A and B are shown apart, each in its own frame.
Chain A
Amino acid sequence: MPTARLRNNLINVASILVFLLPHVLTPSSSTAESVEKNMLKEDIKPSGWICELCPHTKGLHGRFELGSAYISDDSFKFGDYRGLEDKGPYAIGEIDLRYWGKGNSYWEMLGSDLGLDSRSLKIEGGQQGQYEVRLAYDLLQKQGDDSGKSPFLGSGGTNMTLPTGWTRATSTGGMSQLTNALRPMPIAHERENTQFGFSYLLTPQLKYVLDYRRERREGQGLHTGNFIIFTSILAKPIDYTTDEIDASITYTNKQGLLSLEYYGSFFDSQHPSITWENPFTPLTTGGDRGRSALAPDNQAHQITLSGTYQLTIQTQASGMLSFGRMTQDEAFIPSTINANLVGPLPISSLDAKVNTTRLHLRLHSRPRAKLTLNLLYDLNNRKNKTARKVYDFIESDTFFSDTRTNIPYSFQRQNIDLKSNYRFGRRKRFSGGLNYEIYKRNFQEVSKTEEKTVWIKISASGNKGKRPVSLEILHADRDGKRYRGTDEIETFQNPLLRKFNLADRTRDQARLKFSLTPHQRLNVALSSEVNSDDYKDSVLGLTGSDRLNIVIDVSLLLFENGSFYTLFSHEKIKSDQAGSQSFGAPDWFAHNRDMINTLSSGFSFSNINGLWNVGLDFTYSKSIGAIEARTLGRTAETFPELKTRLYSARLSANYQINPRLTMKARYFYEAYKTRDWTLDGLAVNTVSNVLASGAESPNYKVSVIGLWFSYALSKD
């Protein structure tokens, strides 16, 4: 029985630890002492040391780069995160400057991708050892899709209307104006980050840090507008501002540190809701328009006191106590936009409050030179204090359904964790640990789960600090109190279902790392991880999942200035689930399998004739997602494979024209092919009750060629 085995293991390991515990507070000589002696007590510069040969850098140093690149093709997806979606020329601009002034004053400027929509710039300066001021700016493009279309006027705005003369129908096939009314519906947004930071060292021990960030997000995101069984894919506006503040005071001395921190986050959404016209024939009077809430403004505040103290030279205690609060009080929009329906609100805004508490206590000790113990207790408490009220439930602006009471979820998670490390022989190590977790939740099917985890690891290192072999095995058992679904939690839920995060589970995991150096220039490493989760009592829902990954890494130092590498990784993720469409015993089963292979290889040569650096890198990644579904009494049916293939190659060459000027040339090619049955072959009117966008799965082939010059302000 695995549980009995686990219990015995726990008892055995606990016995060993109890035996060892009295040694924790017994001092023993250590390397730390010798370092302390060598470093701290003799840190006085002899008068004869003048550092005559030291080339202390003063003045302006660094480099800037300027040039151009050309993109071969338009591709919205290629521009994702890069900001390079359009064919044509782009400017290349990089800057890396540093100024060392008199005394300890300095400033730095780092700029990257300055000619692109993914540019970033950072400026820092101050008096080293006294204060520092930081400014940063960063732009990020998230390109979702540009192939989708929509008949709505004002798509991506807060009020979406249908073209004049639109004829509503009971299915997409009957929407006679649809094809002519379609217009582009790009899904993309931009993140613009601005940061300011200030650090001040009042004394060598006392440091103040303040960081402020503002992020603006603008663009369009995916949303859907639903009326009972009819729905339309929409673009909603993204117009968000988030302000974040991190402020801390930290006191440090040789015995430890003490820190008081404040974190504040303030989210502001410009638009509380969107409205859209129903392109389908309304099911009830007044059901010709819908309104959906968007993300409400919210805030989070947190105060944290943390500290660490060196009890003895072998033993350190640390702790952290944190209190937080998340709030949200956005004014409610009405229960419905349908003027024929009434849904009075019990309150005008939610006044939501969630209090969070974290407590973390840790004792770390090295009672013997070869033994390390780490004991911790952790508490994570989320208490939702939002008032429960009864709300009229208007089903998708169509009819009054019933009343609903909101469910403010709370949970508490506690962990006790013990880890130990024992070194034996010259380069061998045995590690082990125990973890006990108690998870309590309200308004969920299981009020309390307990999980016990035990793991052991053995590792042996080669010479020169390399660790060629390690094997780790983990076993965990999660058991919960009686699984009890109620209508309050979810109506008409099949009683045989077990939600996987609450279900009883047995987890087995193994990790292996192995490396070989058959020649001093060749290194071969293999690592693998296997994980198996068994939801032993789950009849419906997720019943089991397995994950395997293997990584093989080969690196070869060809010459003193040339190297070659190859890395291959294989990952397989499998899971099984069961469902019941007859609302009884399982009558359908699905097997999901994702398989991802990634191969990267390349070589580089540096300092050829003292002038050239060249390199070639190649990556091929192939993902396959396979789903097999079977209903009771029938043979299994297989979905088309979800396929993604990425080919990426980069050729680079740097030529040093003179000590200050370097020419850089790059050629980059990337091809991306995908097959996705959720999109492929799906026109706007393929599904009778879903007005889709007709978006296609992305495919592209793009080449980039670039040439630029790097100029260094100093020769060295």
Chain B
Amino acid sequence: MVFWPELLFSQDALQGAMSDAPKKEAPPQYSEYGSDLCLQCHGEGSAFPVLSIFKTRHAETSDARTPFAGLECESCHGPGALHPEAVMTGEKNIGIRSFGLGARTSIREQNQVCETCHKSKLGMAWHGSTHEREDVSCASCHRIHAERDPVFSIKDQPKVCFTCHQQKRADSFKASSHPIRYGKMACTACHQAHGSNTEFQLIRQTLNETCYSCHTEKRGPFLWEHAPASEDCTLCHQVHGSNHPSLLSKRPPFLCQQCHSRAGHPSVSGLPSGLPPSGGSALLLARGCMNCHTQVHGSNHPSGARLTR
């Protein structure tokens, strides 16, 4: 709930990080009774309960694409005939394919299993994407057995992402930020975690087009464009959080004076003496340069060349 902003940590991720790993790839021999064998040990209250998967789409048998329409548990975990004996005798090789952080099965093999059915979800950019290159397994983010996979929840997803992207978590607490810590915006509102054809794995074709999805009024095209605004929003804005209003990277006028040193007032130095009580500089106080140049994203006024109209 928005009342109780979870402080953006995934306790599950911690628990997962601490758990012992299952072991080695399975030999190609399926069990005799399928899931009926698995569930004798993996019921509720067991060390590795799995029953919640029956509340998920993966367990729908009338959909021919799902694991339970096929080889049930062994669709993903591989042939498991030797698994019960291996566990009982305490062998390191537990005889099935395992998933998640600490799993003995290679990340590449884990992901290959998921990709077999979810090729279209992964899209064209998974291979070679940052997460793929960094050996992020599908199960690092997705909880396959959970009734609700947290990564699909707008409120819970940031906790999953912040497990690795910890600086972004700190950014979400800055004075100006997108509504991530309030549970009203997920990381996937802008990013495609499975890779995309855009820098920073963005969901639209360019960075600006991604921003325009929510800030359509800034798209124009305007009669009088402000070149950096049309080119790259991040030239002025720090999108994950900033110490300054409107996610700006600096306070005006210093922000604007990085690019404007026109003769006259744009090149005048702002000094503390311009602040009350000793002064009252229009360049420094209130909205700074934007006290007059209010249309910094562009203007469609015929006399808006200076972005004041």
Contact = CB atoms under 8 A, between A and B. Distances in A.
A623 B241 CA distance: 11
Contacts, number: 535
B214 to A, nearest CB: 8
B216 A298 contact: yes
Nearest to A35: B112
B184 A527 contact: no
Contacts of B158: none
A600 B9 contact: yes
A374 B258 CA distance: 37
Contacts of A35: 109, 112-113, 116
Interface in A343-400: 343, 345, 350, 352-354, 356, 358, 360, 362, 364, 372, 374, 376, 378, 380, 382, 384, 386, 391-397
A116 to B, nearest CB: 6
A575 B214 CA distance: 30
Interface of A, secondary structure class, is: strand
Contacts of B2: 81-84, 112-113, 116, 118
A69 interface: yes
Contacts of A254: 119
B259 to A, nearest CB: 4
Contact of B35 (A49, A112, A378): A49
A4 interface: no
Given A52-B36, A298-B216, A621-B170, A602 B7 contact: yes
A72 interface: no
Contacts of A575: 250
A581 B260 CA distance: 11
Nearest to A645: B175
B175 A300 contact: no
A608 interface: no
Contacts of A80: 182
Interface stretch (A15-23, A158-166, A218-226, A281-289): A218-226
A56 B59 contact: yes
Interface in A663-716: 666, 668, 674, 677-679, 681-682, 686-690, 692-693, 704, 706, 716
Nearest to A394: B303
A688 B291 CA distance: 13
B219 interface: yes
A58 B195 CA distance: 35
Interface in B136-182: 137, 148, 154-155, 166-167, 169-170, 173-175, 179, 182
Given A57-B54, A296-B300, A45 B70 contact: yes
B233 to A, nearest CB: 12
B258 A619 contact: no
Main secondary structure of the interface of B (DSSP, over half): loop
Contacts of A252: 119-120
A583 B266 CA distance: 10
27 contacts: A34-B25, A44-B70, A56-B54, A224-B291, A224-B292, A292-B294, A298-B219, A326-B219, A356-B205, A380-B206, A411-B231, A465-B103, A493-B261, A500-B258, A501-B228, A573-B249, A579-B268, A583-B263, A590-B254, A600-B169, A637-B271, A642-B244, A668-B5, A682-B276, A689-B282, A690-B291, A704-B3
B75 to A, nearest CB: 7
A339 interface: no
A496 B261 CA distance: 9
A644 interface: yes
Interface in A631-650: 631, 637-640, 642, 644, 646, 648, 650
Given A32-B108, A240-B216, A523-B18, A494 B292 contact: no
A223 to B, nearest CB: 5
Contacts of B192: none
A677 B275 contact: yes
Interface stretch (A91-99, A174-182, A447-455, A473-481): A91-99
A508 to B, nearest CB: 19
B303 A406 contact: no
A621 B173 contact: yes
